[in-house]
Amino acid sequence: MKKSLTWREYVITRAIKVSGYSAIVFVGLIFFFLLREGLPVFGEVPISTLFNTRWYPIEEYYGILPLITGSLIVTIGAALVAIPFGIGTAVYIAEVSPRWMREVLKPLVELLGGLPSVVLGFLGILVLSPYLRVLLDLPTGLSALAGALLLGGIAIPTIVSIAEDALDAVPRSYREGAWALGATRWQTIWRVTFPAAKSGVLTAIMLGVGRAIGETMTVMMVTGNAPVLAILPGSILSPVRTMTATIAAEMGEVASGSVHYHVLFFIGMVLFLISLIVNIAASSVVFRSKKRAERILS
């Protein structure tokens, strides 16, 4: 009896350990594969060509700068849309709306979060971009702006859902404490509830924006896919092409092992690096405030 118990315990601990380690192994393998396929690019294409402004693989122009700026402009645009709206909505649901409204809105937002992004891309092509074209009098509505708006839309449900959970977890007694001191509802939200939920809200933003950075399908459908350097503020209105869209669009057509193939993997490496940096930056902020909170609570 005793023996079988310890044996079971042993198996279960091992199984959990294996699944834990396997996650690390998979990430390691992906990273290794990326490096193996991407690194040869340095022997094949001069660095000056790689970090150039012209992307035209058929004539061996492999400048990835337009793709990077394309990704940046779309992602930053998306963040500018998603953060204020997402947090505003979360505050409304958690702090302002009556209970029945909350019970309708919360599941609805979560449902939106599960919408396949290709469906949103479809709406983007059929509704959003023609509308933008007419409204702003553009040659084409398929632009960075359309991509940013849609990506923002994709990030909003994630942000709302997680930020709302964080705000809701702030004890009611905090709010009553502030109200009893003569704080208005808004002052309570801004000075008490929000700071108390800060690390949760930051996590919400990171996960939401992270989803926007990695998104492929929607941006491929609505950004116009022109690999043009987008540095001027005005380029938000012109077609751009992101790194993810480039990989998705071209990977199917390159010969395995060719220069173009290696460059695509190199783009993958750059993407990997960017999301790594963003994640580290975010978790260091969240982690710092966690540690402070832990110190305070001990």
Partner 1 sequence: MQPADLPQAKVSIQDLSLQYADGTESLRGISFDIPANQITVLFGPAGGGKSTLLRCLNRLNDLTEVKKLDGKILIEGENILDPKTDVIALRRRVGMVFARPVVLPFSIRSNLTYGLELAGERRKSRLTEAVERSLSQAALWEEVKDRLDDPAIALSGGQQQRLCLARVLALQPAIILLDEPTSGLDPISTGKVEASLQELKKTYTVVLVPHSVQQAARTADFAAFFLQGELVEYAHGEEAFTNPKDQRTEDYVTGRFG
What percent helix, strand, coil does the chain show, rounded to 5?
Answer: 80, 0, 20
Rule CB under 8 A: which of 188-207 touch partner 1?
191-192, 195-196
Extract the tokens encoding 70.
């394309």
At which residue do the structure tokens 């003569």 appear?
182
Structure tokens at 46: 């001069």
Neighbours of 185 (CB within 10 A): 13
Interaction mask 40-79, partner 1, x per CB under 8 A: ----------------------------------------
Q: How many CB atoms lie under 10 A from the CB of residue 205?
A: 22
Min separation Cβ 206 and partner 1, Å = 21
Beta-ladder partners of 61: 56
Identified binder of partner 1 from the candidate list 46, 177, 214, 257, rule CB under 8 A: 177
Select from 6-14, 86-94, 111-119, 169-177 the region that touches partner 1 (CB under 8 A). 169-177
In whole angstroms, what is the distance from residue 221 CA to residue 205 CA?
A: 24
Least distance between partner 1 and beta carbon 174 (Å): 6
Residue placing its CB nearer to partner 1 in the complex, 200 or 268: 200
| Cα angle: 57, vertex 144, 161; to 5 degrees | 120
Binding mask 99-118 for partner 1 (x = CB under 8 A): x-------------------
Stretch that binds partner 1, among 21-29, 183-191, 208-216, 219-227 (CB under 8 A): 183-191
Q: Which of 61, 179, 270, 278 binds partner 1 (CB under 8 A)?
A: 179
- Establish if 24 lies at the interface with partner 1 (CB under 8 A): no
**HSE-CB of 174 using CA atoms within 13 angstroms:** 17
- Specify the residue, 43 or 182, whose C-beta has the smaller distance to partner 1: 182
Distance (Å, whole) CA 143 – CA 146: 5
Applying CB under 8 A, which residues contact partner 1?
99, 171, 173-184, 187, 191-192, 195-196, 295-297
